[in-house]
Amino acid sequence: MSIRRVACTGAGYFSQFHYEAWSRIPKVKVVGALDKSIALAENTGHPAFTNLCQMLVATQPHVLDIVTPPSTHAESITIALEHRLEAIICQKPCGDRIV
């Protein structure tokens, strides 16, 4: 199995558990961290971004892990679908908007 490239949205408190968990999985590499605060994204230790489209183009992930508030989910999922990722992980419901 080849290395699976994972990008994550969100760099707030709860995201630390996601980044740490990804780091324990063999053959997984976190290739991008997105947050509206570039400082928080940089604090993850992964390549930092503030724009989801730019991160997806630059990092070409197989998986997007969405670790942001529910109000951001529908837009992130829609963008990820447009980029034809292999998988999207979203921890909470995406609200009342149907994707």
Give the mean model confidence (pLDDT) for residues 39-51. Answer: 98
For residue 96, tell me if it sits in a domain. Answer: no
What does the alpha-carbon distance between residue 3 and residue 42 come to, in Å, rounded to a whole number? 23
Counting the structural domains of the chain, the total is: 1
Question: Above pLDDT 90, what percent of the chain?
Answer: 85
CATH number at residue 84: 3.40.50.720
Structural domain range at position 10: 4-90
Residue 53 lies in a domain: yes
Global confidence as pTM: 0.90
Q: Average pLDDT, whole number, for the chain?
A: 92
Which string of b and e fits 19-32 if b means at least 16 CB within 10 Å? beebeeeeebebbb
Residue 95 lies in a domain: no
- What's the confidence (pLDDT) of residue 91? 76
Burial class of residue 74, CB neighbours in 10 A (0-12, 13-18, 19+) = middle
Cα 85 to Cα 66: distance, rounded to the nearest angstrom = 13
